[in-house]
Structure formats: C-alpha cells, structure tokens
Structure 1
C-alpha cells in the first residue's frame, strides 16, 4: 500500500491547532456536526453506546448527544488535549480504531477519513467495532474541495520554479466512497454530497484558517524546498484573477460527502434472490399490459 500521509505530521498539526486557539476556524466542523446530527435525528432508533472518531473539538459528539438519540458518548483523538478534558476522551494513534469487535452501536467520523492512508482498512475497523445493526455516520471532504487553491498553487509553482509538488491533499470522489463502503461490508449505505462555497478577502486568511484547523500539508510527497514571499504573492494574484466574485472577494469550495451505513443484521431488508421475481421486467414496463390483462 502506497502511503500518502505523514501520520506524525497530522498529529503535530492538530497539536499546533490547539496551541493556536483560534475558535473561529472550526466552522467546517460545525457544519459537518449539524448535518450529521440532522441525519441521526431522522433514525428511529436509540444508540446506547456511541463513539466519535478524531472529531477535533468534539462538536460533532456534543451536537449528536443533543438529539437525545444517544446514551453514552466516548471520543477518540490522537491528542487528548485537542479533544478537550472532560474525561471521556481516549487517546489513540491515527488510523486506529481502539474498540473491541461489536462493542458500540454508533460511530461518528467528522472530517477525518480524507487523511487516512488505508481508508478501506479504517472502514473495516469501524464496521467490525459496530454491534449488529449498528450505524456509522461520517462527513468526508470530497473531490472539488479546495480546487481553487490547488489550481493557483500549482500554477504559481510551475511559473516560478519550473515544476510542481503536491500542496493540497487529494480528495476522493463520491463514487469511490460508495465502493469502499460496500467493500468494507456495510449494508444499506446512503451517500450524498453538499458543496459549501466560502468567501475570503484573499488567499492569506484562507491559508490561516486551514492551518488553524490542523490542515497544513501532511503529504509525504510534499516539497521540502522553502518558497519565498513571491510564491504566495503570485498565488494570491492568480486566485484574484481566476476565482474572485465581482466584489473582489475570492471563493474557496468545500465539498462534503455524507455517509451512512449499517452493520449487517438479520432484521434488515435484503435484495431478492436472482430468479425469485414474480413478474418479468419487460412485463412491468409494458404500457399495454393492463389492457391485455
């Protein structure tokens, strides 16, 4: 398996985000938390034991608890202090699900699975941790996220240095996520996507927000070559030229893929076995069938 991300750097970025103490930068987690909670509220079930995996500030856990659908909530983080100090946080390595098989009813993953080297393996770990008929809910940044930033950084680097290195992480397509859910053994998967355009005065507050979110570049293939002020000034010019609104403010797109899936249980609906249909498809689609009958 080819590794894309530096696990230690991801943990270090999250520690730095805690030290920076910029509460306004967690607005994307707030959005994901509200959406996950809304989906949870529609489920006619109560979940005795729930876990939030790598939720950063813990807003997704708190918002989900507020639905009244959950008994107890445990949170898992790479850095205990980053997730808070309420005594319900378990520290665990990135890409590790520190749960016993079939031990919880609900797992939440808000904006973390896009940074995993072995996403199929993570999904399998999550599914195994769920009790039969347990539910998995996630928000995953998808393809299209930060497309504008990727565009201008690539162009600026080629112009100034004659080549380019990865500066924005690759994001999965919604179809890829659907396939991975099926491969991991989840049943009744539901997947949809929402785009959130965010406007900034320039590229610089956008990059400050990303750093404050713990989202500085964690790619193993990132360039170690220092870039000067001219690089970022050129990127800012390109951003203003290519991705600005008439009022001069720039746009940054965040595309979130929302995922739900269940651990298998005998009570769940199952597709009919091949050959068990009572009517041929051709007959069902025949507009003259009623007249013939």
Structure 2
C-alpha cells in the first residue's frame, strides 16, 4: 500500500459550480464497511495508517501562521485527525473542532477514542461527505484525511467545502492517489485473466497527481499546494493485505464489482 496526495488551498469567493456526478462507488456498501471496521473488536489494530496520515496533515497546519476559530473534520473515522489535532486545540491554534462522518456507529467509535485519548474540545455529528449540510462561510478550516477518495462527485464535494469556508478559509486534505495498491491491482488482473479470460475491477480508481490540481480548481479551491508522499506497508501475503484493508474499511465498494 503506497503513495498518497496531501493538498491544501484557500477558498475562492467567486466559485459556485457543482460537478457532474458519476456513480463509481456504492456509497451504501462503503457506509457498511466503515461502520463494521469502526465498531469491530480490535479496531485499533488497523488505526496505524490513518493515524500516521492524520499526523502529517496536522503537521501542515503547524506551518500556517494563523489561528482557526472553527474547524471541521470531514470523514473523521475513528477520530484520527481529532487526536492528532489535540495539541492544536490545547494551544488554541484551533479553538473548536467538529468531527463528522456518515453513520452514527462511526461517530460513537470516534467519541470513545477521543475520551480514551483525552481530546476534550471536540464535537460530533453525522454528515455524508457528498451532502454537506452546513451554512455558507461557517468554518475557517476544513480538514479531510483519507475520506474523499470514496466520493462519487469529488469536484461537487469540493464546491460544497468551498461554500462552507469563510473568506480566506483553508482546506487541508489527504487521500489515496496514484499508484496506491498497484501491486494488488496487477496481481488480481493477472489471476483473473488466467482463470476467467477476462477482467473486472477489484481496486478503486485513484486521483493522479496531474489531475488533483484540476479537481481542486473545479471545486473552487485556489492557491493550492499538492504534495505526494510514499507510505509503504509490507504484508507477508495477499490474504494479510486483504485483512488489513477490510479492517480499515477500505475493501472494494465499486458499483461494478464481481
């Protein structure tokens, strides 16, 4: 498992366009996956990757010379960003943080983990990343870590993020991109070609670096900075990899899947 995109940008006060939605992902299936992974006994075994990426996202905020009154964590999962951001909350660099995800059991898991880790200055709500319900200009910071790669209309979600940001508000996000799971994709294709003499999708498509700036721009985010970072995790075999993907809620949710 490797390769990710970390990006940040400033609100564009003139953009209101919505993207064209193409149903690539089964959002109901993905909701079930995330609920099961967040609620499972031993879920903490699979927090390592999201925790690491959340730390890197929050490190980007350490470099920003300003404070944020109201922040949103979009697609919080098991409070990975909330825990990483606790140091910012304690210093009042971030005054308040609202953590949201698309199902109540996920939010319950996030609350429990925040209590265990001593994160006290956080609120929670149930929100779908594809239908963001907040008022215009409600937040001066939106963070999303490893959630938006399951959104069908990414430019449309970026428009909604842009709308809820205050003037000069900041968006910082991270998502799997590029060659993530390329080894699994190739292995599955070779095996399926040999057994079935045909191909079907088993691994999600990911945004490539050359397309990321365009996606953010179509969503109305300007002055963007996009970084790529490799995080390599070694697995002994494909079954171990699949177990960890399931434990993270990252199993296949394509609309057209075998």
Please say whether Structure 1 and Structure 2 have the same fold, judged by a TM-score greater than 0.5: yes
TM-score (norm 1): 0.73
Q: Secondary structure at the match of 2:47?
A: helix
Larger Rg: 1
How far the C-alpha of 1:62 sits from its partner, in A, is: 2.3
- 2:95: which partner in 1? 71
Matches within 5 A, 1:99-178: 99-178=134-213
Deviation digits for residues 26-74 of structure 1 (CA, Å, limit 9, x no counterpart): 2111111111111001101000000100120111122123123200000
Q: 240, 244, 250: which is aligned to 1:205?
A: 240
- 1:17: which partner in 2? 37
Structure scoring higher RCO (CA < 8 A, sep ≥ 6) equals: 2
**Unmatched 5+ residue regions in structure 1?**
224-293
How far the C-alpha of 1:187 sits from its partner, in A, is: 2.2
Aligned 8 A contact 1:107 1:135 in 2: yes
Are 1:45 and 2:69 an aligned pair? no
Q: How many residues matched? A: 223
Aligned 8 A contact 1:123 1:181 in 2: yes
- 2:56: which partner in 1? 35
Deviates more, 1:117-126 or 1:182-191: 182-191
Aligned 8 A contact 1:150 1:167 in 2: yes
How far the C-alpha of 1:20 sits from its partner, in A, is: 2.3
How far the C-alpha of 1:94 sits from its partner, in A, is: 4.2
Are 1:8 and 2:28 an aligned pair? yes
CA distance in 2, matches of 1:134, 1:47: 9
- 1:221: which partner in 2? 256
Aligned 8 A contact 1:7 1:94 in 2: no
CA distance in 1, matches of 2:83, 2:162: 22
Aligned 8 A contact 1:80 1:89 in 2: no
**Unmatched 5+ residue regions in structure 2?**
1-20, 113-121
Q: Deviating runs (4+, > 3 A) in structure 1?
A: none
CA distance in 1, matches of 2:197, 2:241: 25
Deviation digits for residues 266-285 of structure 1 (CA, Å, limit 9, x no counterpart): xxxxxxxxxxxxxxxxxxxx
Aligned 8 A contact 1:92 1:98 in 2: yes
- 1:85: which partner in 2? 111
How far the C-alpha of 1:144 sits from its partner, in A, is: 0.4
